[in-house]
Every structure is written in structure tokens, then in C-alpha cells.
Structure 1
Amino acid sequence: MEEPQLRFGALSSADVKLWLTGQNDRNYEGNPVFLHSVILKRSQFFVVKMSERWSSDKPTDIRVTTSHDFDFFLKCIQLMYDEPVYFSNIEECLAILLVASELLADDCINKCMQYLEAVRWSVEQESQIRDVLSSLGLKLLPDLTARLDKKDDNHIIFLEKIIDEMVSLIKDQQGRNLETAEKYIADILKGNTCREDVEVCGRVLLKEFKSSIASYNFRTIRLLIHFITRCVGEILKAAFVALCEDPKIMRYAMATSIDSGFNENIFYTVISFMQAIGDGKTTISRASRISLLTTWLPIMAEMCRKRVPYALYNSNLINPNLANLAKLDKAVLNVVESLPLVDRRSICVEWIRVYKKYDIDIAKPFTLFKDLQDAHHKSTPK
């Protein structure tokens, strides 16, 4: 005759009495819970608990103190039985998974993972799932691993091709298509876009940016700068360095300063980069910092010489007025102060030389030069 199925809490067939205690010595109101040793052996935790208590035929008393909710703890034990047990939601499943992991109950762990793999997740729930699984260090079921895996080479390849097409529209500047491309790329670079997509977009933009510099396509550079400045990390740094150190860009900036004013995107991007260097948010080599400063000094001189309201005639251009000069001066000083004393002095000498060449008041660089000299003499041992 077939043996009857063992049921959770069945008093008549139980050979184990479980006494549960919670935090602050609070006892479970349903104590004792009647269980079966053959079922509890599915948990390595209970195997150890019961190992010294099988000398008697009487029901074995086991006392367990748990920090988990009593309902979750007992539901985990129910999962060891062959009875159907249903999870109310993902949060309950994760709570039971924590118990199962502590009890070293592999069957329960797998049942939890099977449930997690099979139900719909919200963004918040996926984050919870990842956090719990990461904290437990469990070997995941293949299907759950596949669902959690965000690597999708086909997606990235497809995305990169699409962005290539969008950027080509910017490069060609084709009317309404340009607006579509601008919006598409701007949407990708927003904060709610996944990091992988932003990085792909940044790589393509940087590639096109460098290509535009190489081909003197300055109209495209203006458009691409607008998007690249929304990128982060190494992509943004590479774009900044290319922008600030490339002599072609510098010649372009000087040409526009002479002909029609300063391009707003380039001007404020350079200022932002210089401030980031001084604040330590972006690091470039000592030689690169010196190159950056010496390249921009003639442009600052042009700004000092041409204080006319270009912005009245072209909304894309900025007025090189005193306020803008002050911003650039401050940004340059940020970089100057990041250099060794010997480099600071050489930059100040070059600053004075350029301003004298353009017949511009040298008070500011000369004052800085004098302050540096005084600091040097005060710090030199006598």
C-alpha cells in the first residue's frame, strides 16, 4: 500500500516539534509546530540541529531563534513539503528566499528562483531582486540568469547603427531630419536611459566629433558639441581634450572671434572644462594643461579687443563683454593654480606677452605674476 503523503503540521505523523522564538524573546503563538524529520533533512540547517537527537523514538523537540518574520520562516518550511505553496508577490518570495538561504534548503531556494524567473518585474522590483541575489551569492538557475543578464550584443549593434544614421543627419544638416536626429540623441542622453545606451551614443558622437575636427567641418562641430557635453566620464573628457587642444579648433575659434564673435557652445564648453580641471573633476597631464592655457591666451586677447554686441545680430554668438571675460579669466586661473610654480610663472609671462602684443591692459596677469614671485621669495629658504 502506498504511504500517505506527509503534510505540514500533521500531529498524528509528526516526529519533530519545532519551538520558534523571534526577536526580543517573543515566542510564536502557534508553538509547537509539528513537522517530519524526513522532510526537515532537506535543510542542512535542520540536519545539524537534529543530528544529536535521534536516540529516542519520541518526537524530537527543536528550538530555533530567528530574526525573520514567523510567517516567512514557516512558509519556507512548507516549501520543503510536496504541497503546493504560492507566493503572494515578489517581496514575499524574496523574504522567503532569505530564510531558505539561511536554512541551506536548496529545494526551497530553487522554488523561489523559479517563481522570480516566471513573473513580471517592475524596475524597482528588479532592483530588489538583484540586491538580494547579490547579497546571498547564490548559484542562479540558468533561466533566471538569462533574464537578469542585460548584455544584448544585438541590441547594442542595432543601437549603434541607428545612432550612426542619426548623427549622419546632423552632419548633413537635412532640415526636418536634423530635428528628428537631435531629439532622438537628446532622448538617449537623458538621465532615465540605461548606461549602455548612453555609452554607445557617446562613442559614436565622439567618433563623429573627431572626424569633424579632422575635416574642418566646423558647423557640425557646433552641433556635436551640444550633445557631447551631455555625456560623462572618459567620453566627455576625450571630447574636452580634443576641443581644447586641437589647433584647428583654436584657429576656428580665433577666426570667428575676428569675423563675427565667439561661438557659445565652444566658449562655455572650454570654460566648463577648465573649471573641471581646477576642481579636480577632470584630470589631464601637466603638458596638456600648459598647452591648453597657451592656446587660449590669444583668444582671450581677441575677446578683450572686440567688445561689440555681436549677440544683437546672431543669437548663436555671445557678446565678448566684461562678464564673459571675467568667467574666462577665472577658468584660466583655475588651471594655472593646478600647475607647479615654475609653470605658473611661465604662463604668466606668456599671458603678459600676448596682452602687450595686442595692446591690452596687462594689470591682471602682471598682478598674478607679482603675487607668484612674492610667494616664491617667501617660500625660498634664506
Structure 2
Amino acid sequence: MDQTGAVKTCKFGDQKTSDIIVRLRNHEGKTECLYSHSSILTNKSRFFADWLSNPDSGIYIEIQCSESNYNHHVNLLRLLYLPADSLLDSLNSVKSAIGILHLAIAFHCEEITNSCIQYLEAVPWEDEEEEEILKLVSKLGPMAMPILARIQPVDLSATKNVFISAFRFATSTGGQCPPFGDELKASAQEQVEFMLGGDEDIPLITTDDEVKSVVRVGLSKVFSSFEKELLSLLVNSNLSAETTEDKISPSLSDMEWMCNILPKIELMKDFVSCWAEISGKVLEIVEDQRLNHLMWGLKVKLIEMTGKVLEAVGYGNVILPAPCRVQLLKTWLPYIRKMKPLLDAKVNEEAGFTHKMDDDLCQSIEGAIVSLILALPSNDQADILADWMKTEQVKYPDLTEAFEVWCYRTKSAKRRLTEGLNRVSDATHSL
């Protein structure tokens, strides 16, 4: 009987016309009998064709199965009775398609295998399902190309283009955003961070000149937007309104985001340079008397970002000339020193006050400042330490360690100088 005729005249499970019984036996010895037809099994499965080609095969085919894949065995046998053009429509879930594909491979059912591959290539997967699919396709060779094309890594050029597009969206440098742009922008920022999370291709992308150029343009735009919003504070007639701080919050968040990702692209020096350039103007605005008791959230964020800048410079991740380091420190140290007790007082006075310098922030800033001071020329260290000891807020940041090291180095330097002069004098006398 030909294949088409068999499909039309035979029905799965029809005991009257069945000439083969497939017995599914589980590990507990339980057996299920499925009435089948040799013409169907032979035409659709090489496994069954080989089995039935043996003259001594009899009417029973024994198959071991487990409780978890019993239904997949039954479904596979049902699919053998369907015409090829109906197979795809009969698949209704990724889990079922994976289970059937396992068996279709084992029983050499080519039509069902192709249909399962076509189905899995076209539907969404969960992460755990993808892992199982990957294990399966490793057994299929060229047949698995449709699935492999979906999950194989893209080439460097394509990866770079996606990264650049995502970065432009994340920094609003790719044109006008749609009404739902804020959500997409936040998503783009998350994905840029994810793409910078250690992928093998990322080092090649982040050293690319075009990528760095795009990032620098984005950085410039973010700083420009922040400056513009900051300057608008002093022309606002209603500074006490919460919406005033909310208005500057997006550009401040963008700056914080840039500060977090730029070290991964080796462009933190650009951020530090921009920050140092606008620091004077920023402090002039936030220290305006009209903002004395306002914008606490903004002020803490500025300290947090300054802390990251001080860490980058203080620990040598960003190399700046000594005069620039001195200027950066002299610009922000008085402000941090002033704000710490003010914020602490607000926390003690108001139960619901949430803007504060937590212990981790305080320690990281203090450590960065000490490290930065110790890398300065001795005379600049002396100026900063003398100023520190003259202030009332000598407890924070605590520069005792820097002072002790400076004293030790100064005495050692004086001793070395004296010993050097003595050697020169002795050499002169000996002549």
C-alpha cells in the first residue's frame, strides 16, 4: 500500500484494521498497547521499517519509555498518520515539539523532524527551553541550520551597529524620541550595559574609532543638557516646587549612567575632564543662597558622581597633570566637607529625610581623597593639609593618614637632602 493510501484508510488506534501493536513499557513494568499499522510505520520511520523488515518481528514492537515522555511517544505515533502538510499545524507548544523532536530523531522520522525544526525556529523560547534545543540540534547536522541561524552570534559589524544604535537611543542622540521614548531609553541603557558585560566581541567594539566617536558625542550632549537644566534653576520663580528637581533629574540620571559605563569603554578620562571643566559653574549654582535648603537629592547625586571622579583620578585609573588634580580637589573638598554635617543634621531632624551620604559613600570618597592627596607634589599636599586642620569639619573627610604620611616623607626628604649636601661637601674638601 502506498503512503497516501495508507494515510487515508488507516486510523491510529483502530483495533479492527491494525496489524501491529506498539507496546510502551515504563520502568515500573506498566504496559500500554497502541494499535498501529505496519504500512504507516514503515513509510514514515526508518526505525520501524528496519524492525519490521525482520521476518521474525511478529506483531508486537516493544518500546521502553518513562512517565515524562509517554505522551510524546503517543503524539509521535499519531503524527505518523498525518500527511506532511498537516504536521506543522498539529504542533502546539515548544515543550511538546522538543519532546517529539527527541523521539523523531531516535526513530528516524524525517518528515516529523523537519516539521519540529520549522516550528521551533519560528516560535519564542524560554531560556531553559533554548538550552535543551541547543543540545538537540547538535545531533542534527545541516538539518538544524534554520535554528542555528536564529541563535548564532552575529558578526562584528552587525554587533557594532546594534551597539551604536542602542547607545544613541540611550543618550537621545538619534533624533526625536516617540511619546513612549523614556521607557525605550531606559531599556536601551540597560541593554548597552548588558552588551558591555564581558562578551568576547565587546573589546573589539569598544576600541573601534566610530564607537568612541559616537560615545563622545553622546557624552557631550548629556553634559550640555545637564548644564542647561542646571542653569534654568536660578531663573525659576518657584524653586520650592518638587517639579523643579524632577525636571533636572533625567539629565542627572543620564550623567550617572554615563559615569558607570565609560570605564568599560576606556573613556572615563573624557567624563573626568568634562566634570572638572563644569565643576566651578555647578558649585556656583548649587551653592546659591536660594538653594540653601532645597534640592537635597541633587546635591547628594553631585557628591556621588564627584566621588566616582575622585576615585578614578585618586587610584590612577585616569591620569591628569598635577595642577588639574589639585584644582579638582580644591574645588570639591570644601563642598563635601560642608555638606556632610548639613545632611547628617537633616537626617537627625527629619524622620523621613532620605538624602544622605551613607557609610559606603563616605568611606569611598575619603579613601579616594587620601590617595589623591598623597600623589600630589609635597607643597600642594602641605597646602591642602594645612587648610584641613584650620577647618571646623576636621572629622570628615579624615585626612589623618595623609598627614602622617606627609610628615614621614617630609622628614625623610629633609634627611636625604642633608645627607646629599654632606656628601657634596665632603667631596669638595677631599679635592
Taking structure 1 as the reference length, the TM-score comes to 0.59
Question: Quick check: 1:356 aligned with 2:386?
Answer: yes
Alignment-derived partner of residue 5 in structure 1:
6
Q: Does 1:287 align with 2:316?
A: yes
Deviation, structure 1 residue 354: 1.8
Change (3 A) 1:14 1:206: same
Corresponding residue for 1:330? 363
Partner residue in 1 for 2:62: 62
- The alignment status of 1:229 with 2:256, answered yes or no, reads yes
1:25 aligned onto 2:52: no
1:252 aligns with 2:278: yes
Residue matched to 1:207:
216
Structure with max Cα Rg:
2
- Contact 1:253–1:299 under 8 Å retained in 2: yes
Counterpart in 2 of 1:303?
Answer: 335
Aligned residue for 1:63, secondary structure, equals strand
Q: Equivalent residues in 2 for 1:42-81 (5 A)?
A: 42-43=44-45, 50=51, 54-56=54-56, 58-66=58-66, 68-81=68-81
Distance in 1 separating the partners of 2:82 and 2:336: 84
User: CA separation of 1:266/1:34 partners in 2, compared to 1, >3 Å: closer, same or farther?
Assistant: same
**Secondary structure class of the residue paired with 1:54:** coil
Q: What letter corresponds to residue 56 of structure 1 in structure 2?
A: D
* 1:336–1:347 contact (8 Å) kept in structure 2: no
Offset of residue 329 of structure 1: 4.4
Change (3 A) 1:33 1:230: farther
Letter in structure 1 aligned against 2:364:
A
Q: How many angstroms does 1:101 deviate by?
A: 3.8
Contact 2:42 2:49 in 1 (8 A): yes
Q: How does 1:65-214 map to 2 (within 5 A)?
A: 65-66=65-66, 68-83=68-83, 84=86, 86-116=90-120, 125=125, 130-137=130-137, 138=140, 163=169, 166-167=172-173, 181=177, 185-191=181-187, 195=191, 206-211=215-220
Amino acid in structure 2 at the alignment position of 1:229? E
The whole-number CA distance in structure 2 between the counterparts of 1:352 and 1:182 is 55
Sequence identity (%): 11
- Cα distance change, pair 309–334 in 1 and its aligned pair in 2 (3 A): closer
Secondary structure of the corresponding residue to residue 25 of structure 1? coil
Deviation string, structure 1 residues 184-217 (Cα, Å, up to 9, x no partner): 55322335998379869x979833244459x988
Q: How has the CA–CA distance of structure 1 residues 245 and 272 changed in structure 2, closer, same or farther, with 3 Å as cutoff?
A: closer
Contact 2:18 2:35 in 1 (8 A): no
Separation in 1, partners of 2:270, 2:401:
29
Task: Note if contact 2:76-2:100 (Cα within 8 Å) is conserved in structure 1.
Answer: yes
Give 1:330 shift: 1.9
Deviations 1:207-257 (A, max 9, x none): 3244459x98872697755325346974574498246531x5214213433
Do the aligned partners of residues 336 and 105 (structure 1) sit closer, same or farther apart at CA in structure 2, a change above 3 Å counting?
farther
Question: Secondary structure at the residue paired with 2:317?
Answer: helix
In the other structure, the counterpart of 1:269 is 305
Instruction: Give the root-mean-square deviation of aligned CA atoms.
Output: 5.8
Contact 1:229 1:269 in 2 (8 A): yes
CA distances 1:66-104 after superposition (whole Å, capped 9, x unpaired): 454322212113323445552344443343234334444
TM-score of the two chains, using structure 2 as the length reference: 0.53
Shift of residue 21, structure 1, vs aligned partner:
1.9
Matched, 1:366 2:400: yes
Shift of 1:20: 1.1
Give the C-alpha shift of residue 181 in structure 1: 4.8
Amino acid at match of 1:288: N
Q: Count residues in correspondence.
A: 332
- Say if 1:348 and 1:136 are closer, same or farther in 2 by CA, change over 3 A: farther
Q: Which amino acid aligns with 1:167?
A: T
What letter corresponds to residue 282 of structure 2 in structure 1?
A: T
Cα distance in 1, alignment partners of residues 214 and 275 from structure 2: 17
Q: Aligned partners of 2:285, 2:189: CA distance in 1, in Å? A: 40
